[in-house]
Amino acid sequence: MSGLVETFKDEALELLQELEAALLELEESPEDSAAIDRVFRALHTLKGSGGLAGFENVAGFCHEAETVFEQVRSGERQVDQDLVSLTLSAQDHLKGMILAEFGADGIDDELTAELVAAFQALRPFQEEKQPVVTTGFKTRKSDQVTYRVRFRPEPNLFRQGVQPQFLLSELVRLGEAVVVAQLDAIPPLEKLDPEECWVYWDILLTTDQDEDDIRDVFIFVEDDCELVIQQIDDGSRLDQPGDYKRIGEILVERGDLTNEDLEKYLKEKKRLGETLIEKGVVDESKLQSALLEQERVQVLRRERTANDAMESIRVKSDRLDKLVNLVGEMVTVQARLTQFANSRVDAELLAVAEEVERLTWDLRDQVLTIRMLPIGGTFTRFKRLVRDLGAEVSKEVILVSEGGETELDKTVIDQLNDPLVHLVRNSIGHGIEPPGIRQAIGKTAKGQITLSARHSGANVMLTVADDGAGLDVARIRAKAIEKGLISNQAELSDREICALIFEPGLSTAEQVSNLSGRGVGMDVVRQAIDALRGSIEVHSEVGQGTTFTIKLPLTLAIIDGLLIDIAKDHYVLPLSAVEECVELTRAESEQTHGRNLIKIRGEIVPYVRLRDEFRVDGQCPDIEQVVIVKLDGIRVGFVVDHVVGEHQTVIKNLGRMYQDVDGVSGATILGDGRVALILDLPQLASHAEACEKQALH
Amino acid sequence: MSKRVMTVDDSATVRQVLQMTLEAAGYEVLEAVDGADALNKLTTETVDMMVTDLNMPNMDGISLIKEVRQNPGNRFMPIVMLTTESQPEKKQEGKAAGASGWIVKPFKPEQLLAVVRMVCPT
């Protein structure tokens, strides 16, 4: 493209000369409309060419001057000495801008800004056009939808150089199409003008594109034709596959038959089609086209149902739950078998046990995937919610979703709805600013909320992000001090302060609105996420927006655990949180003078002694193990006697009696029939932290 | 035989972009610098379609389209006009004069080709 830049340089310098000459003429006779035109055209051409040649700065700068001269041209403004001088200095500056690209001195950005401001000051205040936001909820394109398109151009179509066959072939390219030409409007031969187009077309189009894409094909002729696009089949699953509208209904919908006529001729005993043609109410090609539509949709629907039937069957979800439970039991028994086989010296038994183990794991994975559903369905429901809630508080908000195909356990998705609603409500209530404020600070009037999902190892990460004001750290801090959540002197990072919004009773909204701000909420959200064995984090930037990140396990029923023991009792830690295991000698723990800290590769990591936490008596071994886990981005150690190893854990809840016990999230049955408690690490860590704080005060 | 496109624009930069894009897509390009030049060339040359700017010295695009349509041989030739975002009213004026479609400047090569192919496939 270097040739293009050279061409532009030559052209631009010529245009600038022309601009200068025209301006000087204008100075002598400010009313000279020919000179005004020349100035305008020079600026206009320079803007257009600049944009094409990649000189956006030149194009943008010319635009400012052009706008003012457009007013001059339309008589809204008089040319005066100041305008001529200003434009002359702009002309000099433009020359500099263009030559800067060819090794001359750099561009004086200050001068650019000054001149732009001067031009802008000249034109009356106008609201800037908002850039069109193109991102948004696009209809999902994977579904094949069938449209009925009637394209009836005005007779003078040919005279505009438009050839309908090109438009039709463009349309056919969008999907599978059947085109029927309708000839009934063609006048008798003696009246026919061959330069006029009297044919019109019915097209049945099955496509994954949406209506706008179809309209785009006809964009140049849209004003000079009758274009009717009707969706006649949405590609969804149907209970009555072969069913479609009656022929009369189709004709009425197309406007080829009136309702009265339909009623009238239905009464006749003969077939409707025959009657209609006999009476001359509908001509044959229209009837053919309608019949074709009926047949096509029926075929499509039957095919789809047949495909669906092959791909899926419906099963009640409680049956699935039972299946999952049974697999859980089986995993337990299999673990027992493996343990038993390992204790015998029997190669045959061991071989069988290993085979069973392999099959069981396979079975487990398969069964769990049955319950997986894409989260997109949940996202779609939020679109409406966002719209309505936004309207309630007079804010315009659009929802963008990403990763809707990410799959999660059905039970997780069900329980996720409320927390997500809450977060979205909060974003609309607190996060997104009113349109006036947004515009004043240079944002688009429409706010945006992004829901996204993606896989990350054994977890799914969900984010709810808005482009609003962000969290007010100072206010949260003040509120937290007021509520006694933190002390006056507490030195907290912004991140830690933001995390305080999940504490009960903290709401910084000045006005309690319908939407949010009662201070119950964020802690409820966290509880709900905790219940799903997930975690939630918030990240916020002032003026940029707030992002909530929810980390969830793929499934609830079975987890990979790390089996440890303390004084002969077994416990299970969720393996997904575990980062590493290190040894802790007695000498090391005594060095830290009673503070529970361990140095790992130069990093100080706090730890929790589970022996102390569970008040287990007796002597701990000389060398203990520290299991390092990551909780909310912070590394914490848990001291245990021994690490036994990885363990497939089927989670059993503790029943109602023990549901409020802190630090334990469930139990599991080990291979030998013993029960091991599953530890709730975040709770244990925060409990230990609270105890230590108390001890220090 | 490749299709022949006449490009009409007073800006050499725009003409060059049009030429490079269209030739790369297999079209033959004939250039004119304004409306009068285009009309003059059309007396001796035939083209399959025309892409023309609107704001030009000597003869503007709208007058050019009207003139071209006067010639019976060119009555059905596709004519695409180059408009800018700041003049949406020009689209209607151009269509009334007989233009087949429009391209909004500044355009990307693929946008140009999409429009040209729609009215005059290679």
- For residue A310, the model assigns a pLDDT of 59
Q: Are A245 and A191 in a shared domain?
A: yes
A70 touches chain B (CB under 8 A): yes
B97 touches chain A (CB under 8 A): no
CB contact under 8 A, A59 and B106: yes
d(CA A366, CA A327): 10
Q: How far is B37 from chain A (nearest CA, A)?
A: 18
Nearest CA in chain A to B70: A159
How many domains does one find in chain B?
1
For residues A179 and A210, the answer to whether their CB atoms sit within 8 Å is no
Nearest CA in chain B to A15: B11
Cβ-based contacts of B75 with chain A (< 8 Å): 158-159, 195
B6 touches chain A (CB under 8 A): no
Q: How far is B7 from chain A (nearest CA, A)?
A: 15
CB contact under 8 A, B119 and A162: yes
Q: Which of residues 13-42 of B touch A (CB under 8 A)?
A: 13-14, 16-17, 20
Q: Are A434 and A285 in a shared domain?
A: no
Residues of chain A with pLDDT under 50: 1, 127-142, 510-520
Cβ-based contacts of A8 with chain B (< 8 Å): 12-13
Q: Is A291 exposed, middle or buried (0-12, 13-18, 19+ CB in 10 A)?
A: middle
Q: How far is A436 from chain B (nearest CA, A)?
A: 25
Containing structural domain, residue A259: 145-309
CB contact under 8 A, A53 and B13: yes
Please give the structure tokens belonging to residue A676. Answer: 């091991």
Q: Tell me which of A536, A553, A570 is where a domain ends.
A: A553
- For residue A515, the model assigns a pLDDT of 45
Q: Are A524 and A604 in a shared domain?
A: no
Question: Does residue A212 belong to any structural domain of this protein?
Answer: yes
Please give the structure tokens belonging to residue A259. Answer: 């309702």
- For residue A513, the model assigns a pLDDT of 46
Task: Determine how many CB atoms are found less than 10 A away from the CB of residue A202.
Answer: 24
d(CA A373, CA A380): 14
- For residue A366, the model assigns a pLDDT of 84
Question: Does residue A93 belong to any structural domain of this protein?
Answer: yes
Please give the structure tokens belonging to residue A324. Answer: 């999952």
> Would the ipTM clear 0.90, i.e. be above it?
no
Q: Are A538 and A562 in a shared domain?
A: no
- For residue A555, the model assigns a pLDDT of 64
**Residue partners of B90: CB distance under 8 A and separation at least 6:** B54, B62, B81, B83
H-run or E-run covering A464 = strand A459-466
Tens of pLDDT, residue by residue over A284-327, are: 888 888 888 888 888 877 777 666 555 667 778 788 888 888 88
Instruction: Tell me the angle at which helices A109-122 and A56-73 cross, rounded to the nearest 10 degrees.
Output: 20
**pTM, entire model:** 0.47
Please give the structure tokens belonging to residue A311. Answer: 């791909």
Read off the CATH number of the domain in which A470 is found. 3.30.565.10
Question: Does residue A136 belong to any structural domain of this protein?
Answer: no
- For residue A237, the model assigns a pLDDT of 55
- For residue A497, the model assigns a pLDDT of 83
CB contact under 8 A, A7 and B16: yes
- For residue A566, which of A474, A674, A501, A644 has the smallest C-alpha distance? A644
CB contact under 8 A, A44 and B55: yes
Cβ-based contacts of A170 with chain B (< 8 Å): 118
Q: Tell me which of A530, A553, A576 is where a domain ends.
A: A553
- For residue B39, the model assigns a pLDDT of 92
Q: How far is A207 from chain B (nearest CA, A)?
A: 19
Q: Which of residues 176-235 of A touch B (CB under 8 A)?
A: 195, 217, 219-220, 223-224
Q: Are A506 and A601 in a shared domain?
A: no
Question: Does residue A85 belong to any structural domain of this protein?
Answer: yes
A163 touches chain B (CB under 8 A): yes
d(CA A575, CA A572): 9
d(CA A380, CA A42): 50
d(CA B61, CA B93): 10
B47 touches chain A (CB under 8 A): no
Question: Does residue A132 belong to any structural domain of this protein?
Answer: no
Q: Are A428 and A533 in a shared domain?
A: yes
- For residue A590, the model assigns a pLDDT of 78
Pick A45's closest partner by Cβ from B11, B75, B118: B11
Nearest CA in chain B to A44: B55
For residues A373 and A315, the answer to whether their CB atoms sit within 8 Å is no
Question: Does residue A128 belong to any structural domain of this protein?
Answer: no
Tens of pLDDT, residue by residue over A600-619, are: 888 889 999 898 888 888 88
Q: How far is B46 from chain A (nearest CA, A)?
A: 15
Q: How far is A219 from chain B (nearest CA, A)?
A: 8
Q: Within chain B, what is the greatest distance between any pair of CA atoms?
A: 38
Read off the CATH number of the domain in which A90 is found. 1.20.120.160
CB contact under 8 A, B119 and A170: no
Read off the CATH number of the domain in which A357 is found. 1.10.287
Long-range contacts of A630-636, Cβ-Cβ distance < 8 Å, separation of 24 or more = A630/A577, A630/A579, A631/A535, A631/A577, A631/A681, A631/A682, A631/A685, A632/A499, A632/A535, A632/A537, A632/A682, A633/A537, A635/A579, A635/A603, A635/A605, A636/A605, A636/A606, A636/A607, A636/A608, A636/A681, A636/A685
For residues A462 and A417, the answer to whether their CB atoms sit within 8 Å is no
> What does residue A552 show for φ and ψ, rounded to 5 degrees?
-125, 145
- For residue A457, the model assigns a pLDDT of 61
- For residue A501, the model assigns a pLDDT of 83
Q: How far is B76 from chain A (nearest CA, A)?
A: 4
CB contact under 8 A, B101 and A219: yes
Q: Taking the mean position of all CA atoms in its chain, how far away is CA A175? A: 27
How many domains does one find in chain A?
5
Q: How far is B6 from chain A (nearest CA, A)?
A: 14
Question: Does residue A446 belong to any structural domain of this protein?
Answer: yes
Q: Are A536 and A395 in a shared domain?
A: yes
CB contact under 8 A, A41 and B75: no
Pick A49's closest partner by Cβ from B13, B20, B120: B13
Question: Does residue A175 belong to any structural domain of this protein?
Answer: yes
CB contact under 8 A, A161 and B78: yes
Integer CA distances (angstroms), A407 to A360, A436, A529, in order: 22, 39, 17
CB contact under 8 A, A161 and B20: no
pLDDT band at B49 (very low <50, low <70, confident <90, very high): very high
Q: Are A671 and A528 in a shared domain?
A: no
For residues B16 and B29, the answer to whether their CB atoms sit within 8 Å is no
d(CA A292, CA A146): 13
Containing structural domain, residue B75: 4-119
Read off the CATH number of the domain in which B10 is found. 3.40.50.2300
CB contact under 8 A, A7 and B12: yes
Pick A11's closest partner by Cβ from B12, B86, B100: B12
Read off the CATH number of the domain in which A583 is found. 2.40.50.180
Q: Tell me which of A553, A580, A609 is where a domain ends.
A: A553
Mean pLDDT confidence for B48-53? 93
Mean pLDDT confidence for B11-22? 91
Nearest CA in chain B to A63: B86
SS (H, E, C) B66-87: HHHHHCHHHCCCCEEEEEECCC
For residues A150 and A183, the answer to whether their CB atoms sit within 8 Å is no
- For residue A515, which of A417, A427, A616 has the smallest C-alpha distance? A427
